[in-house]
Structure 1
Amino acid sequence: MVVRLLLRSWPRAPAVGPGVPCRSLSADTGPGQYLHRSIVPTMHFQDSLPRLPIPKLEDTIRRYLSAQKPLLDDSQFRKTEQFCKSFENGIGKELHEQLVAQDKQNKQTSYISGPWFDMYLTARESIVLNFNPFIAFNPDPKSGYNDQLTRATNMTVSAVRFMKTLRAGLLEPEVFHLNPAKSDTETFKRLIRFVPSSLSWYGAYLVNAYPLDMSQYFRLFSSTRLPKSIRDELLTDDKARHLLVLRKGNFYVFDVLDRDGNIVSASEIQAHLKYILSDNSPVPEFPLAYLPSENRDVWADLRQKLLSSGNEETLRKVDTAVFCLCLDDFPIKDLVHLSHNMLHGDGTNRWYDKSFNLIIAKDGTSAVHFEHAWGDGVAVLRFFNEVFKDSVHTPAITPQSQPASTDSSVAVQKLNFKLTDALKTGIRSAKEKFDATMKTLTIDCIQFQRGGKEFLKKQKLSPDSVAQLAFQMAFLRQYGQTVATYESCSTAAFKHGRTETIRPASMFTKRCSEAFVRAPSKHSAGELQQLMAECSKYHNTLTKEAAMGQGFDRHLFALRYLAAAKGTALPELYLDPAYGQINHNILSTSTLSSPAVNLGGFAPVVPDGFGVGYAVHDTWIGCNVSSYPGRNAREFLQCVEKSLEDMFDALEGKSIRS
């Protein structure tokens, strides 16, 4: 079973825009070396974070059956109920007790962390489309700063500032503030820093602040996923000082930190990037970048061939680089082009195994494309927000800045790979597979301008529930059924938390969707409003449960993993076709909300599914959908738009037309 992990952000994002003051940079650390100097150490709360709870088995079974009900007919549901009953009273009870005992012996982590890493690292499919998502930045508000060289320099410097701030323990801890007026203050920070790390979480909790797990952050930089047969490995080398730059399929490296660990001057970085941008070398005949898009076992075998052909040192430079900067040689035409380019590109100019690729197109359009095994959206979004804010408010250079008069031909090393005939054949084959696969992917998007968060909150509705309800209605209108739906929710409020699944398809959404789609004229606007309110209330419950580690998906996943690890026969519950069906997520959805984000996206997680990236903004709703040939993304979006129009009509007291 391959479970796809998607993004869901906590509603914390820095204010961005003209006139927003930025933190001053400390003069004693050299100009521009750090983003800020937090008086509370970065990992201050980590030791005292609460542990991810293992739900009670009876609660998991109850939630599982509630999620199954809208997907099954009566006779199927009765069979699934029977499987659940015998699981809960038999093998499931034993496995649950073993899981709880194992968890008590591993207090330094969570019960899901190990199995979740394994799930990712043992997956053999290509990580392109199957796992790696992207998030695109908004343009710099000052148009001149969107010049490719200027933006690449500024974002590189801001990214390295983030890295230095993080490694020095000066990055502000990630905290979810329920009452910022009380907890997001200098007074609170001055007090909490004196509370011992073993108790600090409780001090934050007293003022309604919830520190988040930051254990994934160290893998943001100098990290890569190494292909190995059976199970990949994650490599991190925090001593590396160089940046990897890809342009036209050519690889370059240069140092962004000097021997003392200080950031190289921005004008030098600008000079080196200008030198790379002026290199007229064509795309190599055999672009190495196709290889990480291969099946993982195939790539592992080819990597061994690369290593034994004298490329060990060169590959080491690729693997340990602080991150990968991709300079694309064309402007972005529109949002669909942006999504395709940032999600997969043409295969020549990304290193998909790096923890993240920072991509900057000819017109300055920028995005982060990231590998998912090492971490989740919380860490990536924090990095994303900070880099956007810093590069906009404290840019290292201006469009008028002149590059340093340094000899970049000495400082910049172009990497050359020795390729045998077997490797050339492998690259050719990887290219053919890549090109064939990308041709099958369709991406489309809409922007619903009639209203957003502000209007829906006035109606006392959860904006997220309305978006999810629109997807349920749209699928019912398009295909006549309710299907397995996945919405990711972070469990970063717990030590080594990862994600939990919200299951938006419920009996409430089914009833409401059928009323809107099949019999709108039989219901008054007031009745439709009532149905929407019930959906919103239930969705809020599901979301809160998931965020508190009280979903059912991760618990059942861990029990199944434990059974497999112990060599126990797979319990009947997991052999039930209904279990396979609910984990075949036809609607895979994920939301991101931040002033820095333009849009985000990912591919469907099953061949007959939709990948739905969306955001409910203050006054509009954006939706970015991907599909393979088995589904029609454009038509689905038309149905989403119709669903939103109908709901807004109902909320305004208007009658609904079929």
Structure 2
Amino acid sequence: MAEAHQAVAFQFTITPEGIDLQLSYQALNQIYLSGVRSWKKRVSRMRNSVIKGVYPASPSSWLFVVIAILATMYMRSDPSMGLIAKIQQHLSISDYLTAQGQTMVSALVFSTLLWLSLILTLRFCLKLLLSYHRWMFEQHGRVSTTTKVWTLLRLLSGRKPLLYSYQTSLPHLPVPAIKDTLTRYLESVRPLLTGPEFERMSELANQFESTLGNRLQRYLKLKALWATNYVSDWWEEYIYLRSRSPIMVNSNYYGMDFLYVTPTAVQAARAGNTITALLLYRRKVNREELKPTRVPGTVIPLCAAQCERMFNTTRTPGDETDVLQHWQDSEFVAVYHRGRFFRLWVYRAGRLLCPREIEFQIQRILDDPSPPQPGEDKLGALTAGDRIPWSQMRKQYFSSGVNKRSLDAIERAAFFVTLDDEEQGMKGDDPAGNLDRYAKSLLHGKCYDRWFDKSFSIVIYKNGKNGLNAEHSWADAPTVAHLWEYTLATDAFQLGYTEDGHCKGEVDRSLPHPQRLLWDIPTETQVTSSLAVATALADNVDCHVFPFREFGKGRIKKLRISPDAFIQISLQLAYYRDRGGFCLTYEASMTRLFREGRTETVRSCSNESCAFVKALEGGEGAEQCRRLFRLAAEKHQNLYRLAMTGAGIDRHLFCLYVVSKYLGVDSPFLKEVLSEPWRLSTSQTPIQQMELFDLKNHPDFISLGGGFGPVADDGYGVSYIIVGEDMINFHVSSKYSCSDTDSHRFGVQISQALQDILALLTPETKTASSNSKGPAQTQSKKLL
């Protein structure tokens, strides 16, 4: 085998004259170059550690302090107020250290101590400034004096911070007062309960607060003092890793390609550029060259801890809990094509292969005629089914020998690549149906042609379309969206393609062939049961993707309304029309203003939003409906701010529940709260790197965003991305098994609700009604 031959660095034979040593200088040169690359990375990490350690100052500022101290001493002044003289007393004069040298050393020691003190002071001030969040609640044009002083943060943010420069300065997530959390919880469920039901829930909450609640709160505060984040480790373990059900559909989510554009129709070329762009992003993460993500429109940094496990990470199954395994680096990716697994080396002698070379290697895989080995083709279904069977199978058949080596190659890979033999995308005779099939393909595929345990898997389709499937436990969607934005933009605008659709660059045709992974899978390890579970789950998912082109955030912002609040209230109206009532609604909000923060729930179904929907559907006057809408939008914005600043409801109650389980006590209140179904689960996919996408000059390069499966069996999952000024893309999911839900029907309701609310808020665009019914009343009747 060519790859085995290339791996041999030297050979020797025993001769009568002694040992005949035959060195392969090419192989030794590659070993040397690979070692140089490794040392470069170590030096880079050490340099970054120094830069981060002194941030918000810079290493060069030490020299400035030293020069300033020496200059004042030269002017016969003592800036140390006697401290330099005291340091001199502890330095003895010798042949190597003269009196003048003693003075210089003392001045250097004092300057270094002063410099370190200044760094600690600056970092303390930066942490105080980052802990202030009242700026989010200031009214436009009415900024308090405290917030004006807080704007000094710009002076301490530094010119060129590294990716992790702010990590040690970010505040810890605070534990809300238990009374505040319970009050906000009762307010959130008031529109969903009848009078007697609300009184019963209020009684349970009061009983919990007066008895068990304060005891659990004390333990939680103790953890908050000790841990970096009192939520994130328990959230990762109990919500994600301890789940024993399939992670496919239930947990993993997907990201799509451009809506209108496919940069090339050559599958191998698209794979070459996509893999290269991802590896360039990994290089930026390793070198910490990425700019820290910030709150849009501000200098406020967000926690970057989730980037640490983006690559070279796998979720491995266990009987009781899964484990996230992360390796420092990996020089290969794992590739799946027509039932076969390959290891594709993307570095050679320390050099990242160019896109054309990766395309060349991918084409070799596509042209490989060898059939799958027995049991190999559907092996990926083990990662799609229940976790316990996969854990038991792994221990029994994949813990040693050739199976372990091949499994290690997949799990240690930078990421997973599927070369799909299908064509996907919007174009064709049925563009709407094609988008739906595209979403289902990325969400679950054939249930065995993805490796759902990897941190993320890339799918390259036969017609050049691509997409992504991400595992959820290691990070949330905004982190993956940031990666995917960079990948799409780098692929299309920086790497580019030749006129015939191939990657740019030259090919070293002496590259060793991609390595087939070998398996020895006994017949009793058939994955039939896991595949059956996964197939039943996949077949039950009803996906609907549609671009809403009537208007976008441009029209909404002209009305001085938050686009997110506008969409969320529209979803409440759509659900009310679809199901005839309201439900507990989940909107994901981030808590990355805090160190190691992840998400918090915004309970979008509020008293105010329900009042607006009832008034609109009940035929109230337009002025009254507009007033109620404004109140609902303001309420939603306030709920979102509370969630972002650590004053949410659900993570606090979740952690109290975990503490109660550790103490072995039961709380009827917490048990009921955590069992409530989220029948409407929503999330916005943010666009974070607008500098990479010039939508004005390239309007066709519009992202479709991504989506996820439904959280409740009788509910909807809705993901949306606000693209540019004039479009919003929606992803709706539900289950066929529930007769009360229909993703396409709900999509129609969403579109109509958006248009009806805009018409309500812009009365000059609609015809005056001759009766007291609002415009939405007439529109909803037309739908029926």
TM-score by length of 1: 0.84
Shift of 1:146: 4.8
Deviates further, 301-310 or 338-347: 301-310
Which of 176, 183, 203 is matched with 1:55 structurally? 176
CA 1:259–1:238 in structure 2 vs 1: closer, same or farther (change >3 Å)?
farther
Shift of 1:648: 2.2
2:254 maps to what in 1?
Answer: 134
Which of 623, 632, 636 is matched with 2:730 structurally? 623
Which of 693, 716, 719 is matched with 1:613 structurally? 719
Matches within 5 A, 1:173-192: 173-179=292-298
Shift of 1:163: 0.9
Q: Is the 8 A contact 1:162 1:383 kept in 2?
A: yes
Q: Is the 8 A contact 2:306 2:479 kept in 1?
A: yes
Q: Distance in 2 between matches of 1:648 and 1:170?
A: 42
Q: Is the 8 A contact 1:139 1:364 kept in 2?
A: no
1:245 maps to what in 2?
Answer: 335
Q: Secondary structure at the match of 2:686?
A: coil
Q: Distance in 2 between matches of 1:146 and 1:540?
A: 43
Which of 606, 615, 625 is matched with 1:528 structurally? 625
Q: Distance in 2 between matches of 1:395 and 1:233?
A: 36
1:254 maps to what in 2?
Answer: 344
Q: Which amino acid aligns with 1:304?
A: K
Shift of 1:172: 2.1
CA RMSD of aligned residues (A): 2.2
Q: Distance in 2 between matches of 1:560 and 1:244?
A: 40
Shift of 1:396: 6.6
- CA deviation profile, 1:97-133 (whole Å, cap 9, x unmatched): 2111221122xx2000111111211110100011000
Matches within 5 A, 1:214-613: 214-260=304-350, 262-281=351-370, 286=375, 287-308=378-399, 310=401, 311-333=403-425, 334-395=434-495, 398=498, 399-400=501-502, 401=504, 404-407=507-510, 410-424=512-526, 427-517=527-617, 519-520=618-619, 523-567=620-664, 569-576=665-672, 579-580=673-674, 583-594=676-687, 597-613=703-719
CA 1:293–1:215 in structure 2 vs 1: closer, same or farther (change >3 Å)?
same
1:88 aligns with 2:209: yes
Q: Distance in 2 between matches of 1:643 and 1:239?
A: 48
**Which residues of structure 1 form unaligned runs of 5+?**
1-28, 180-208
- CA deviation profile, 1:365-391 (whole Å, cap 9, x unmatched): 222210011111232122112222222
1:160 aligns with 2:160: no
Q: Which amino acid aligns with 1:126?
A: P
Q: Secondary structure at the match of 2:273?
A: helix
Which of 149, 161, 165 is matched with 2:268 structurally? 149
Q: Which amino acid aligns with 1:591?
A: Q
Q: Which amino acid aligns with 2:329?
A: K
Q: Is the 8 A contact 1:136 1:368 kept in 2?
A: yes
- CA deviation profile, 1:132-163 (whole Å, cap 9, x unmatched): 0011121695x553532222111111111111
1:644 aligns with 2:771: no
Q: Distance in 1 between matches of 2:506 and 2:649?
A: 55
Matches within 5 A, 1:59-74: 59-74=180-195
2:101 maps to what in 1?
Answer: none
- CA deviation profile, 1:565-613 (whole Å, cap 9, x unmatched): 222x12121234xx256x3100011111326631311111121111111
- CA deviation profile, 1:597-644 (whole Å, cap 9, x unmatched): 313111111211111112334223322111112122222222222222
- CA deviation profile, 1:502-521 (whole Å, cap 9, x unmatched): 0000111111112223x22x
Q: Is the 8 A contact 2:570 2:754 kept in 1?
A: yes
1:9 maps to what in 2?
Answer: none
CA 1:248–1:139 in structure 2 vs 1: closer, same or farther (change >3 Å)?
farther
Q: Secondary structure at the match of 1:387?
A: helix
Higher relative contact order (CA 8 A, sep 6+): 1
Q: Secondary structure at the match of 2:364?
A: helix
Shift of 1:499: 0.2
Q: Secondary structure at the match of 1:647?
A: helix
Q: Distance in 2 between matches of 1:621 and 1:527?
A: 28
Q: Distance in 2 between matches of 1:446 and 1:40?
A: 39
Shift of 1:269: 1.3
Shift of 1:322: 0.6
- CA deviation profile, 1:291-346 (whole Å, cap 9, x unmatched): 10111111101111222463111111010001111111121152101100111101
Q: Which amino acid aligns with 1:623?
A: F
Shift of 1:267: 2.8
Q: Distance in 1 between matches of 2:288 and 2:746?
A: 46
Q: Which amino acid aligns with 2:683?
A: S
Q: Distance in 2 between matches of 1:446 and 1:82?
A: 44
Deviates further, 248-257 or 38-47: 38-47
Q: Distance in 2 between matches of 1:53 and 1:178?
A: 25
Q: Secondary structure at the match of 1:573?
A: helix
Q: Secondary structure at the match of 2:334?
A: strand
Q: Which amino acid aligns with 1:607?
A: D
Runs of 4+ in 1 over 6 A off after TM superposition: none
Q: Is the 8 A contact 2:653 2:670 kept in 1?
A: no
- CA deviation profile, 1:412-438 (whole Å, cap 9, x unmatched): 1011221112212xx122222222222
Shift of 1:392: 2.1
Q: Distance in 1 between matches of 2:302 and 2:424?
A: 35
1:170 maps to what in 2?
Answer: 289
Q: Is the 8 A contact 1:110 1:496 kept in 2?
A: yes
Shift of 1:354: 0.2
Q: Distance in 2 between matches of 1:446 and 1:97?
A: 48
Alignment identity in percent?
27
Q: Is the 8 A contact 2:447 2:538 kept in 1?
A: no
TM-score by length of 2: 0.71
Q: Distance in 2 between matches of 1:275 and 1:175?
A: 42
Deviates further, 508-517 or 169-178: 169-178
Q: Distance in 2 between matches of 1:271 and 1:169?
A: 30
Q: Which amino acid aligns with 1:632?
A: D
Q: Which amino acid aligns with 1:230?
A: E
Q: Distance in 2 between matches of 1:636 and 1:151?
A: 34
1:213 maps to what in 2?
Answer: 303
2:200 maps to what in 1?
Answer: 79
Shift of 1:559: 0.6
Q: Distance in 2 between matches of 1:488 and 1:621?
A: 18
Q: Is the 8 A contact 2:249 2:708 kept in 1?
A: yes
Report the structure number with the largest CA radius of gyration.
Answer: 2
Shift of 1:494: 0.8
Q: Distance in 2 between matches of 1:642 and 1:544?
A: 28
Q: Is the 8 A contact 2:439 2:545 kept in 1?
A: no
